[in-house]
Amino acid sequence: MSNSTENATLPVFSMQHVEKSFGDNHVLRDISLEVTPGEVVAIIGPSGGGKSTLLRCATTLEKIDAGSLRYGDLTVAETNDAGQVQYAHGEQLRKAKSRFGLVFQSYNLFPHMSVLRNIMDAPLVVQHRPRAEVEETAHALIKKMGLVGNENKVPCQLSGGQQQRASIARALAMGPDILFFDEPTSALDPELTGEVLKVLKQLAAEQTTMIIVTHEMAFAHDVATRVVFVDEGTIVEQGTPQEVMDRPLQVRTKEFLSRYSG
C-alpha cells in the first residue's frame, strides 16, 4: 500500500509554484497547494478563474509549464535546472496515478458496462487484484452509495445522481489516498444534488482526503476543513471556512461571496 508509515508526515498531495498557459492565456500563476491526510479542501471561485485547470494539472490530464507536482514521496513533475518540466514515466507515474481518484461533472462511466463492472474494472485490469476481493469491495461500495438493486443496470438506466454516485464508488474502489471532484453536482437538479452532497458529507466525516471544486457555497462552508478561493489563476485567499467565507480579508473574495449571501 502507498500509505506507509514513513510517508505519514508528508502531504498526500503537493503542487508548488505551478504555471500553466494555453497559448497567450495564462491560466495558472504561481499556484502552491498542499493537502494533508484527512483534509477536505473546497476550491471556490468564478468560472474561468482556473479551478478546473488546477484539477486537470493535479491529475496529469494537463501538463504544467513550470513548478512541481508530488503525491506523498513520489515526484510526478519537476522543473529542472534548464527550466523544463520533467515528468515521471513508467512505474513511477503508474504508482503516482494509483494514489488519486478523479470524479468528473459528467460521470464518465463506461456506457456498455453495468454498475458492478464499472466499479470492478480498474482494480482488476490496472491493479491486478484478486476478483473475489474486488467484487467484495464493489458490493460494499454499492451499498455505501445507496445503489443496491442497481448492480446490473447500465448507466443510461440510472438517474444523474445515481450515475454520479456510481462514479464515486468507481474512484473509491482503487483505494486512492486522495479524491478530486470537479464540480460533481453541476449537471444535477437540486434533488439529485442533495443525494451526491450527502455522500460527500459522509466521506468527509470518515476523513477521506478530498479536493472538491464546487459552486455549492453552503456545502463548502459546512463540510470543508479548508477553503481556497481561486481567481484569475491565483490563490487569492485560503483558510478555514469561517476565515475565508465569514471573515474574508481580500476585496475580491468579498465581492465573489456577496453574490451568494442572502
pLDDT digits (tens, 9 = 90+) for 99-119: 999 998 777 899 999 999 999
**pLDDT at residue number 106:** 76
Shortest CA distance to 218 belongs to which of 188, 193, 250, 254? 193
Q: Is residue 148 part of a domain?
A: yes
Q: Is residue 182 part of a domain?
A: no
In this structure, is the dihedral angle defined by the CA atoms of residues 56, 59, 65 and 66, taken in order, positive or negative?
positive
**pLDDT at residue number 1:** 39
Strand order in the sheet with 25-35: 25-35, 13-22, 66-71, 74-79, 85-87
Q: Is residue 123 part of a domain?
A: yes
Shortest CA distance to 112 belongs to which of 156, 145, 150? 156
Can you give the residue range of the structural domain that contains 150? 109-175
Q: Is residue 129 part of a domain?
A: yes
Shortest CA distance to 109 belongs to which of 50, 169, 38, 54? 169
Q: Is residue 147 part of a domain?
A: yes
**pLDDT at residue number 8:** 56
Q: Is residue 146 part of a domain?
A: yes
pTM of the model: 0.91
> How many domains does the chain contain in total?
1
Three-class SS of the chain: CCCCHHHCCCCCEEEEEEEEEECCEEEEEEEEEEECCCCEEEEECCCCCCHHHHHHHHCCCCCCCEEEEEECCEEEEEECCCCCEEECCHHHHHHHHCCEEEECCCCCCCCCCCHHHHHHHHHHHCCCCCHHHHHHHHHHHHHHCCCCCCCCCCHHHCCHHHHHHHHHHHHHCCCCCEEEEECCCCCCCHHHHHHHHHHHHHHHHCCCCEEEECCCHHHHHHHCCEEEEEECCEEEEEECHHHHHHCCCCHHHHHHHHCCCC
Sequence-distant (6+) residues with CB within 8 A of 35 are 11, 12, 13, 14, 41, 178, 209, 211
**pLDDT at residue number 236:** 97
**pLDDT at residue number 186:** 86
At residue 38, what are phi and psi to the nearest 5 degrees?
A: 90, -5
Q: Is residue 255 part of a domain?
A: no
Angle between the N-to-C axes of helices 160-172 and 131-144, in degrees from 0 to 180, rounded to the nearest 10:
140
**pLDDT at residue number 111:** 94
Strands 210-213 and 40-44: parallel
Q: Is residue 196 part of a domain?
A: no
- Residues with pLDDT less than 50, the chain: 1-6, 262
